[in-house]
Each structure stands twice: as structure tokens, then as C-alpha cells.
A = this chain, B = another copy of it.
Amino acid sequence: MSGGIKAGLVGLGKIARDQHLPAMEKVEGIKLAAVASRNAQAEGVNNYPGLDAMLAGEPDLDAVILCQPPQVRYEAARQALLAGKHVFLEKPPGATVSEVEALIALAERQGVTLYASWHSRYAAAVAHAGQWLATRTIRHISIQWREDVRHWHPGQPWIWEAGGFGVFDPGINALSILTEIVSDPLALLSAKLEVPANKQAPIGAELRMATASGASVDAVFDWRQTGPQTWDIAVETDDGQLLLSEGGNMLRLDGEVQVQAPDEEYPSMYRRFVTLVANHAIDADVAPLRLVADAFLCGEHCPTTAFED
């Protein structure tokens, strides 16, 4: 890999074009060589109709980046790992927790990198928030994650299907930050899921959690928010208040702005991936996905009005 990691990307949808391609352009040590997509083509690289064809046509690929919907992620990841490739998974890393656990076991056997990426953990203020909390006792956490699905997920019917996560697709970003900045294990205790009459996946959710030490954690996820969008995590401690907003890119401590910076999440993730591959290391934390699975497991289903895109 003297010229850096030679990467092939599968699933040339919105997240791949908006984030992955520009990030790979920007980061040293990795270069996009090929794309596999049923319906789309990228410029300046070799294009294939699927992963099979890409693996056959590009035998010297080092890594495969998987950006398809989670329902089809597992078989592709398995195929890439069995072919000896390092694997980068867009979030969520799979349709189920046990899938990701099986992939971790397979990556260990193959001696290659598996990276389950959680982009919100790389938001500008998240690391600072975690450091500030590490020396304090948490009393209560309140999460508000409210956005407009029509704006953020146009033409993505898979998000409404079984295994598509619904409002947990953005909500898992909040949970990925939560599990990063809170070192104590988090238990999901109960949930309410609002599921539109014409969909399989929820459009709204309320979660009640607790840290193992006993602090309460409440979260509201809502996909029906028009106007200003809200991605806030507020933490009350024994020594001050923390507010992470703008999805983790802005930090206030006791009301004073400490960090406010533009989103550099995907370039940071690709730098991380380059380091992981150099060490054939695995970074695949299932904690955010486990909380989502738990919400579906114990959640009360509350039918709500049909939703039309």
C-alpha cells in the first residue's frame, strides 16, 4: 500500500456523494479506485454494477467502503472480509447487533480491519464534552433530536421498511455521542415508538434510559420537525451544565460557548480508518445499535397517522 489504501465503495447514494467522496479526496493515505452501484456511476474511477464484479475486476483493492442501506450490509461485508479486504461500514453498521458481532468475529479470523463508523462521534465538540464529563457526576441527561425527514431523506424508501430504523436513523447519531461521552454503561429501560399506519418504522420515539450509576437519561426523537432543526444533548452534573448542540459541533458549559466549529466528521473518520488499516485493527462499538435494538424490543408501539413523503 505504498500509494495509500486503494478503496472501492459500494452504494453510490446521497451519503456517499455528500460525504465519502469529498472526504477521500481530502485525506492522505486513501484513494478511491472503484465504485459499485446498480444505478449510478462516479467520475474518474472504474464503475461496476455490484460488489461481485468490483472484487473480480479490481483484485488489488485493499479496502471496501459500504454505504448501502443496512438491510443488505451484512452479506456484502461478509463477502469483502472473506476476500481479505479491510471494511469500512457507514452507520448503522448492520441491520442487527448480532450481524455486527458476527462480522467482528470474521474480521478477527481474517486479520483485517473492520470499522463501524459513527460520524457524530467526530463532531467538533464531542471530545471536549467527554473530557469535561469525565471528572463530574452526571445527574440527568436530556436528548432532543428533531428534524424534517422530507428534507434529509428524500427518495429513500428503505428507511421506512422493516430494518430501516425510521427516526432511529438520525436518533442513533445522538446515541453514538451519548455512549461516547458517558463512560458508565447505559441501560435502556422503556420506549414508546410512534409508527405511521402505512410504514414499518417509527417516525417518533421516546426513550427512557439510565446510567449504571443511576442517573436518568431521556431522549425524544422526532422526524416531523419543520423550521429550525434540533440536535441537542443537555447534561446536568454535580458541577455545572453542559449543552451539546448542532449535532455535537457546538458546546456550551454553564451557558458559555466553548466550542463552535464546522463539521469535519467524515475526513476525521477517514483519517481514523487509515490508522486502523495500518494496524489491521478493529473498531466496532455496537453500543449505539444495541440501544436501538432494545428500544424496539421493549418499546410500546403507538400507531399514528399515515405519512406520505
- How many copies of the chain does the oligomer comprise? 2
Question: Roughly how many angstroms separate A74 CA and B211 CA in the complex, as a whole number?
Answer: 12
**Known: A296-B293, A296-B297. Contact between A95 and B189, CB under 8 A?**
yes
**Interface: A52 (CB within 8 A):** no
**Interface: A96 (CB within 8 A):** yes
**Interface: A300 (CB within 8 A):** yes
Number of A residues whose C-beta is below 8 Å from B? 41
Question: Roughly how many angstroms separate A251 CA and B280 CA in the complex, as a whole number?
Answer: 43
Question: Roughly how many angstroms separate A11 CA and B187 CA in the complex, as a whole number?
Answer: 22
Question: Roughly how many angstroms separate A102 CA and B217 CA in the complex, as a whole number?
Answer: 14
Residues of B within 8 A of A95 (CB): 189-190, 297-298
| B298 and A106 contacting across the interface, CB-CB below 8 Å | no
Question: Roughly how many angstroms separate A296 CA and B291 CA in the complex, as a whole number?
Answer: 12
**Interface: A188 (CB within 8 A):** yes
| B212 and A106 contacting across the interface, CB-CB below 8 Å | yes
**Interface: A237 (CB within 8 A):** no
**Known: A99-B188, A102-B187. Contact between A297 and B291, CB under 8 A?**
no
Tell me the residues in window 185-222 of chain A with beta carbons closer than 8 Å to chain B beta carbons.
185-190, 195, 200, 209-212, 214
Mark interface residues in A101-112 (1 if CB within 8 Å of B CB, else 0). Answer: 111011000000
Tell me the residues in window 255-309 of chain A with beta carbons closer than 8 Å to chain B beta carbons.
287, 290-294, 296-301
| B97 and A162 contacting across the interface, CB-CB below 8 Å | no
Tell me the residues in window 59-74 of chain A with beta carbons closer than 8 Å to chain B beta carbons.
71, 74
Residues of B within 8 A of A103 (CB): 187, 212
| A290 and B185 contacting across the interface, CB-CB below 8 Å | no
In this complex, the member of A102, A290, A292 whose beta carbon has the largest number of chain B beta carbons within 10 angstroms is A102
Question: Residue of B at shortest CB range from A71?
Answer: B298
| A200 and B106 contacting across the interface, CB-CB below 8 Å | no
A101 touches which one: B185, B292, B301 (CB < 8 A)? B185
| A99 and B187 contacting across the interface, CB-CB below 8 Å | yes
Mark interface residues in A164-200 (1 if CB within 8 Å of B CB, else 0). Answer: 0000000000000000000011111110000100001
| A293 and B297 contacting across the interface, CB-CB below 8 Å | yes
**Known: A293-B296, A296-B296. Contact between A212 and B97, CB under 8 A?**
no
**Minimum CB–CB distance for A119 against chain B, Å:** 21
**Interface: A29 (CB within 8 A):** no
**Known: A290-B293, A293-B290, A296-B297. Contact between A98 and B162, CB under 8 A?**
no
Residues of B within 8 A of A212 (CB): 102-103, 105-106
Residues of B within 8 A of A189 (CB): 74, 95-96, 99
Question: Residue of B at shortest CB range from A301?
Answer: B200
**Known: A102-B212, A212-B106, A293-B294. Contact between A188 and B301, CB under 8 A?**
no
Residues of B within 8 A of A102 (CB): 185-187, 210-212
